[in-house]
Amino acid sequence: MNVLTYARDALSTGPLCDACLGRPLGDRSFGLGNGERGRALRTTIALEDDESFETADAGECWVCEGVCDGFDAWAERVVEALAGYEFDTYQVGTRVPALLEENGRLLREDAGLNADAGEPLKRELNREVGKRVGAHVDADVDFERPDVQVTLDLDADAVDIQINSAFVYGRYRKLQRDIPQTEWPCNDCNETGTIDGEPCPGCDGTGYRYDESVEELTAPVVRKAMDGTEAVFHGAGREDVDALMLGTGRPFVIEVKEPRTRDVDVDRLETDINDFADGKVEVEGLRLATHDMVERVKEHDASKTYRMTVAFESPVEAADLTAGLEELEGETIEQRTPNRVAHRRGDIVRTREVYEASGQLEADAGEQANVEKASRATIEVHGEGGLYVKELVSGDEGRTEPSLTGLLGVSAEVTALDVLAVEGEDEPFTDEAYFRDVDET
């Protein structure tokens, strides 16, 4: 292709700005902007023809209709729209009207070029406005998942901004029973708090089964610190409502939507959450995280260690208890969906492994501490993620095999349950790729 022949043919179609003249050659001579290409073509033609140089101001460009003269103005509008938001990364995109896209196609056709020669107007706008924005903000371009996504809507003459979520990772301990992990809406009244105009007896008119949750004791503090519109709690599984979460705690991520602040002091945030939770919940190890951590937390295959207080229907021998637990240790357990959760989960049979099991009898009131026969025991079980430990003890009417009840021949029931550890089957949450460096925010 002779570039001057192209340029003459292109200029004969009507008024063209330098950028639109140069854009169909955007894949030639790297290091030049399209405006520089167009001006160079216009200059070369003037020199070759020994005629007066004609600038691109002879009339509004029929291809972009003046859009390319507004790179600076668009960038200023973007910077203004982002004022008040803290961000490390950004990306600029553009919605180009179909008419302007068609004009670009017609120019290439009239000048004898392929329809996809050079680059599209959208790409040039993204680049030119994006680098101008970069000159005014302390942030880097990110084409994968930026903190803020800016869209130039040419048809509506508007700048749309999408503020992507910020994330805080940590581990929580739940120190009081009867606190769910997240809000628990009342199904009896569909969260309305009333049935036939009367207060719902299932929730005392509140619309929720429980007054508090781990989410409600933590997420509002993070939302306020980051000045976001909403905070969502994501946990690595969940313990039963009546169970404590102790020991090393359970991994979680709090997602803050549309945050104005991202660079928060996580040590101060940790203190503020613990003060707000007032001893009901504790968090530790808070770190700023990436959005990938949410999926990692929610889908992480974690093993768990439980401590249970178990009541037997009749006293059992210490030697029998030890033998029963030893038989469970290392065993693959078949568990049909428990009766207590069958209303919300599919009725299937799952297999889970018991890694370790140990325990000792507990003396009844007024008896010696070291007993050989009793109706209570404290048991610890380390098992594969998804193991129903209450049913491992009770047998759940034969739906779990083997079980402690079946091995001892005595009905057993868990009366108190504590989760002591939630640890990864493969690796703990230490991969730096999932965290944001506070020093860089």
Report the SS3 class of residue 3.
Answer: helix
> In 3D, which of 105, 8, 13 has the Cα closest to residue 61?
13
C-alpha to C-alpha distance for 101 and 107, rounded to whole angstroms: 10
- Which residues in the chain land under pLDDT 70? 1, 56-58, 364-370, 425-430, 437-441
Quickly list H helices, 111-256: 121-134, 214-226
The two tokens of residue 182 are 């997240």
Tell me phi and psi for residue 255, to 5 degrees: -100, 125
Q: Which 8-state DSSP code applies to residue 363?
A: P
Q: Are 231 and 223 in contact (CB under 8 A)?
A: yes
Q: Torsion angle, CA of 170/175/177/178, rounded to 10 degrees?
A: -40
Greatest Cα pair distance in the chain = 115
> In 3D, which of 239, 250, 247, 177 has the Cα closest to residue 389?
239
pLDDT score at 440: 43
pLDDT score at 207: 82
Q: Are 171 and 283 in contact (CB under 8 A)?
A: yes
> In 3D, which of 78, 3, 75 has the Cα closest to residue 41?
3
98 C-beta neighbours (distance < 10 Å), count: 8
C-alpha to C-alpha distance for 248 and 417, rounded to whole angstroms: 16
Residue 361: partners with Cβ closer than 8 Å, 6 or more residues away = 316, 318, 321, 371, 372, 373, 374, 376, 377
C-alpha to C-alpha distance for 353 and 396, rounded to whole angstroms: 17
Q: Are 200 and 193 in contact (CB under 8 A)?
A: yes
* Catalytic pick among 18, 88, 147, 240: 240
Omega of the bond prior to 402 within 30 degrees of 0, cis? yes
216 C-beta neighbours (distance < 10 Å), count: 19
pTM greater than 0.85 (yes/no): no
Is there a catalytic annotation at residue 240? Answer: yes
The hierarchical CATH code for the domain 302-424 is: 3.30.70.3190
How do residues 385-426 score in pLDDT, each as one tens digit?
889 999 999 999 999 999 999 999 999 999 999 999 988 755
pLDDT score at 59: 77
The two tokens of residue 370 are 């070291």
Tell me phi and psi for residue 274, to 5 degrees: -65, -35
C-alpha to C-alpha distance for 323 and 107, rounded to whole angstroms: 86
Q: Are 138 and 148 in contact (CB under 8 A)?
A: no
pLDDT score at 116: 87
Look up the CATH architecture of domain 3-163. Answer: 2-Layer Sandwich (3.30)
All structural domains of the chain with their residue ranges? 3-163, 167-301, 302-424
314 C-beta neighbours (distance < 10 Å), count: 10
Bridge partners (DSSP) of residue 302 are 424
Quickly list H helices, 69-213: 71-82, 98-110, 121-134
pLDDT score at 439: 47
Q: Do 167-301 and 3-163 have the same topology in CATH?
A: no
Q: Are 357 and 380 in contact (CB under 8 A)?
A: yes
Residue whose token pair is 């030893």: 326
C-alpha to C-alpha distance for 345 and 261, rounded to whole angstroms: 39
The fold of the 167-301 domain, in CATH, is Alpha-Beta Plaits (3.30.70)
Q: Which 8-state DSSP code applies to residue 329?
A: T
> In 3D, which of 357, 364, 362, 363 has the Cα closest to residue 403?
357
- List the beta strands (DSSP E) in 121-257: 140-141, 148-153, 158-163, 166-174, 194-195, 198-199, 230-235, 243-257
